[in-house]
Structure formats: C-alpha cells, structure tokens
Amino acid sequence: MVVVEVKLPDIGEGIAEGEVAKWLVKEGDHVSKYQPLVEVITVKVNVEIPSPYEGRVVKLLASEGQVLKVGEPLLVIETAEAGEKPVEETAQPLQTEAPVPTAAKPKAQVLATPAVRKLARELGVDLATIQGTGPGGRITEEDVRRAAKPRVEAAPAATVAEAKPVQRIPIKGLRRIIADHLTTAKNRAALVTIFDYADASALISLRESLKPRAEELGVKITYLPIIMKLLVPVLRQYPMVNANVDDEKGEVILFQECNIGVAVDAPEGLTVPVVKNVESKDVFTLARELEQLSEKARQGKLSLDDVRGGTFSITNYGAIGGLRGTPIINYPEVAILGTGRIEKRPVVVGDEITVRPIMELALTADHRIVDGGYMSGFLNTLKKYIENPGYAAMV
C-alpha cells in the first residue's frame, strides 16, 4: 500500500484557483477509481474531482469554503494501485458545469490564505491594493490590519446605539465568483453608459407576424432573439464593440463572428450563456437555443462551452419588469446592451403628441476602448433597425 496526495487539477481556460464547495467523501471511506471526491467551484465552472485510484481516504487536506490554487493538495488516499513509491497525483475533473460567465481572471493573482481573505472581507479591505510582506509577496493578517487601521482611526464616534445584525451570510460559492468577476470588470475597465429609447411599434408587429411560424416549430418567439438578429449588422458596422480586451498584451481582439452572451437570472445567481454565430441563424433557431440555454442555466447544468467565446452581451431586464439600468460588461468583453420593458408613452411625432410603445436602451462599454460618439452611433443605428427592421435586412 502506498500513500497518494491528490491535487487540485488544471481545469484550463486560465482558471487558477477553486473553492472547495462540498466534500463527497470522509476520512476512512473506501473509494473506487473515478468516484467523485469533492465539488469545486471556479470562476467559470463547477467540477467534481474524481479519485484517480481505488483505495481508502486517509486525510482531507482542505475544508469546505477554502480556496485552493491549482496544484495544491486536496486529500490523501492510501492505495495498492500506484506502485511502490509514494506519488503525487493530479486528478482530472469530471464533466464540468458552468455557473458564470465569464472571462478569464487576470494572470496576476493575490497571494493570501483563506483566513486572510476572510479577515479582509470583514474589515472591508481590498487585497488587490495591498503589497504583501510575507514569503513570495504573500499578504499576511498584519498587512490587512495595517491597511484597515487608518480607516478605523478616522471613524467618528458613534452617536447612537449600534444596530445588531440579525444574520451574517457568508459570501461564498457562486455568489463569491460573481462578486469577484464584477469587481474585476469595475476595477480594470473604465465603464461608461449611454441611454436612448426606440419606438417598438414595428418590433411588436414583427413579433406578431412571426408567432404562427414559431408555433408550427414549437418555439416561443420573444423580442430577445429578434433584437439579437438586429444586432448583427450593428456589430458589423461598429466592430470595436464586438470585441474583447487583452490587458496583459495591451491589445483589442476584434471578431468576425457574433457570439452574443445573454444574462440569465438563475436561482444560484446570474449566468451568461453564449449563443454562438448569431449571424448565421434565423430568429426561430435563436429562440430555441435561448430556451435550451436558459433552462440549463436555471438547472445549473451549463457546460464550459456554453459560457465561453462571447464577443458581446445583452441583458434583458425588461423581461422581469425593469425599465432602465446600467449594466456591467462581461469582462474582457468591451460592451453590453441593456433592454428595458416596453411601455406606452406620449411622444412627439412630427408636430403632434401621440402615444407609442417605447423601449429604453442602455449601452455600457469600456471607455478605454471606445468613446461616447462611437457608442452613440451604435445605439442610434440599433434604434433605427428596431424602428424599421427592414433596414437591417438590406445591410
């Protein structure tokens, strides 16, 4: 019998660390080869790490909620399969499921233990702003307390009794992944949002005309697949919006294909599955894919392929009653479109006031890459196509 140390594997896609979500075995358990050992949450996917050997679990080396870097040990297994010498084994993950969209984290990583990360969250300290004094630049608890001290000293004396918390909810799992990803977007990109609105009369008529064929095909036609199709010629005319930014190389990556990510409000949290090659699909195909991806997102069964490769994103908060918003880009994408609910409003047409169905639009983009004039041109063109869908077919 030999002892095998099983490490967190390299899952790919630039994933550098993972959080131990749930142990599926306990110390002393006998495990078979390929039996799932632990569930791990990463920035892009949820994975089950399988046992590379048959044997007995000797020791669990990480606790639930602990963040490990790729290559750090998970547990120790005693086995008769590995040969005569003790070995270190990196297990390969089973089929992955993706919780968020999302883009790869920057290569530069904050070196800090889970305990230090927890202390930083409690004290409201951003670890990215601290220069670690520990070995290899690792951030210590003293570094965190030192960074928090000026704020503590400057805090005014309380004049009223401090409110007692009813409950403390740890930010972990998918919620932590979402928080980290959105913080990265806010910290690295210079976000700016511009607004416009469109008369949705023609859009409503177009949808009504498509309903009979959609029913024949067994799909539900909403406004979203129509808008996605209208976006294609706009993205072609404004290619800097259909792009990713590579901050490590200082480059903007432009794309010919239109892979549009769609924000889905799932029970576990926001996910952004990607509809690939929108330019080559009709609205009925897009509607079917949206149904399938949305259902997989709600069930937490998105694959890694379902969430990667996005070139532009859209969030339809109007579907749940939202009027307007300031969406945050799905970094490293350059831009995201927000669409609000359609509601009747008085508008001036010619010299007369009339009531029209109005849809609000919001475009958030990385101001480092595109300017306000470029963004306004994008929205004006999209508005023209929403109000006159036939124009898009002629481009």
One digit per residue, the tens of pLDDT, for the chain of length 395 reads 899 899 998 876 667 788 898 899 999 999 998 899 998 887 666 778 888 889 999 999 999 988 888 899 999 999 886 554 444 455 556 555 554 444 444 444 566 665 677 788 778 888 888 888 876 677 888 888 888 876 655 555 555 667 777 888 887 777 777 788 788 888 889 999 999 999 999 999 999 999 999 999 999 999 999 999 999 999 999 999 999 999 989 999 999 999 999 999 887 778 899 999 999 999 999 999 999 999 998 888 888 889 889 999 999 998 888 888 999 999 999 999 999 999 999 999 889 999 999 999 999 999 999 999 999 999 999 999 999 988 766 54
Examine the domain organization and report whether 74 and 205 are in the same domain.
no
Of 172, 276, 367, 384, the active-site residue reads 367
- What are the tokens at 388? 């006159």
Examine the domain organization and report whether 228 and 372 are in the same domain.
yes
| Final residue belonging to a domain, choices 79, 98, 132 | 79
Examine the domain organization and report whether 215 and 362 are in the same domain.
yes
367 catalytic residue (yes or no): yes
Q: Is residue 349 part of a domain?
A: yes
- Domain of 269 in residue numbering reads as 185-393
- pLDDT for 1 equals 80
| Buried b or exposed e, range 339-377, using 16+ CB within 10 angstroms | bbbbeeeeeeeeeeeeebbbbbbbbbbbeebbeeeebeb
Which residues lie closer than 8 Å to 394 by C-beta, 6 or more apart? Answer: none
Cβ atoms < 10 Å from Cβ of 289: 20
- 26: CATH: 2.40.50.100
Position of tokens 């929108």?
A: 278
- pLDDT for 269 equals 78
Q: How far apart are CA 91 and CA 7, in angstroms?
A: 7
3-state helix, strand, coil split of the chain in percent (to 5) is 30, 30, 40
Q: Is residue 369 part of a domain?
A: yes
Cβ atoms < 10 Å from Cβ of 174: 20
Q: Is residue 88 part of a domain?
A: no
- pLDDT for 24 equals 94
Examine the domain organization and report whether 240 and 366 are in the same domain.
yes
- pLDDT for 292 equals 95
| Final residue belonging to a domain, choices 33, 48, 79 | 79
| Buried b or exposed e, range 121-151, using 16+ CB within 10 angstroms | beeebebeebebeeeeeebbeebbeebbeee
- 273: CATH: 3.30.559.10
CB 17 within 8 A of CB 109: yes
| Final residue belonging to a domain, choices 56, 79, 102 | 79
Examine the domain organization and report whether 190 and 328 are in the same domain.
yes
- pLDDT for 194 equals 97
Q: Is residue 28 part of a domain?
A: yes
CB 270 within 8 A of CB 325: no
Nearest-5° Cα angle at 49, 44 to 51: 165
Q: How far apart are CA 292 and CA 285, in angstroms?
A: 11
- pLDDT for 73 equals 93
Examine the domain organization and report whether 217 and 362 are in the same domain.
yes
Q: Is residue 285 part of a domain?
A: yes
Q: Is residue 109 part of a domain?
A: no
Q: Is residue 105 part of a domain?
A: no
Contacts 24+ apart (CB under 8 A), 139-144: 139/110, 139/111, 139/112, 140/116, 141/115, 141/116, 143/116, 144/116, 144/119, 144/120
pTM check: above 0.85:
no
Examine the domain organization and report whether 222 and 370 are in the same domain.
yes
Examine the domain organization and report whether 72 and 201 are in the same domain.
no
Number of domains in the chain: 2
The burial class, CB within 10 Å (0-12 / 13-18 / 19+), for 390 is exposed
From the list 243, 225, 304, 241, the residue with the least C-alpha distance to 272 is 304
Nearest-5° Cα angle at 382, 376 to 384: 100
Examine the domain organization and report whether 71 and 190 are in the same domain.
no
Q: Is residue 286 part of a domain?
A: yes
